Amino acid sequence: MYENNSIIRFDWAAKRILRDKANFGVLEGLLTVLIGENIRIQQLLESESNQNSMDDKFNRVDIKAENSKGEIIIVEIQLTREIYYLERILFGVSKAITEHISLGNKYNQVKKVYSINILYFDLGKGGDYLYHGTTRFVGVHTGDELQVNMKEGDLIRMRIPSEIFPEYYIIRVNEFNQVATTPLEEWMEYLKNGIIREDTSTPGLKEARKKLQYLTMSKQERAAYDEHINAIMIQNDVLDTAKMEGRAEGRAEGRAEGRAEGRAEGRAERNAEIVQAMSRQGFTVETIAKITGLSTVDVQSLVQ
């Protein structure tokens, strides 16, 4: 199924491989390229939001880390569309802040958070593949940026809010359609197409090429990875089918009732094929229902 030099998808590596301290260099490379400064991960952090479960097969993969400056970095990889994704980003950042300040601590113990969001779905309208957001307080009449007094040790210095408030990066993987000539573009090429150049010097990618080879995994790991890829293919098929059906139904409004019934029958047959294929792959009734939007009763009737 894979060539000898095939590289494991980043979403799978983030879930299974990059959590090993020996492999931190891959993630550090991506963060260094994105944030523009040398990032070193001290440790991975755990919370309710980054625990693995069967239901996260198609959704996010969370990595929550602390860098050498004590700042928190959240990495989320989202494979399927989520309508309220911006709200979830905000919730995740807020939760990370509150989880890491104890009751009674002074507010100077609040940690800066970086939220890195790698999206494989269409979030909305925008021409770029990378967006960066910060919090700034700008004078309504003067246009100047507010600076505030901060105490560090025995000194008082001026800081701007963006040094304290969270920073957000949204990477729209599917929007990248360029020839990779910069470190960021090389990372995008890997995230989208799984390609890493043999002579790469981009931070993190040299390590990824060495440590994320498909054939270096055990037989059991390869089987689990193959199932993951098959699941993504089935999921994409489900979503593409739904989009095509939606467009077809829109064009067919006002046509004869017989044609509508034909579409309904065709849709039912296609749903049955998808459900049965997923069932053969070992997915539970509950998981199939969640992905397809069918009820558990309908799914059970189709797999019997």
pLDDT single digits (tens) 213-254: 887 778 888 888 778 777 777 766 665 565 565 555 555 554
Q: What is the pLDDT of residue 12?
A: 86
Judging by beta carbons within 10 Å of its beta carbon (0-12, 13-18, 19+), is residue 153 exposed, middle or buried?
exposed
CA 34 to chain centre: 15
Residue 273: name the closest of 240, 248, 237 by CA.
237
Mean pLDDT value across residues 94-114: 86
Going by pLDDT thresholds of 50, 70 and 90, the confidence category of residue 57 is: very low
CA 51 to chain centre: 15
What value does the CA radius of gyration of the chain take, rounded to a whole number of Å? 23
Higher-confidence residue: 181 or 49? 181
Mean pLDDT value across residues 125-129: 92
Give yes or no for a contact between 261 and 287, defined as CB atoms under 8 angstroms apart: no
Going by the DSSP 8-state scheme, the letter that residue 284 receives in this structure is: -
Residue 116: name the closest of 194, 163, 60 by CA.
60
- Highest mean pLDDT, choosing among 12-16, 22-26, 237-241: 22-26
Average model confidence (pLDDT) for the chain? 81
Going by the DSSP 8-state scheme, the letter that residue 204 receives in this structure is: T
pTM beyond cutoff 0.75 = no
Mean pLDDT check: name the lowest of 154-158, 203-207, 239-243: 239-243
- The yes-or-no verdict on residue 58 having pLDDT over 70 is no
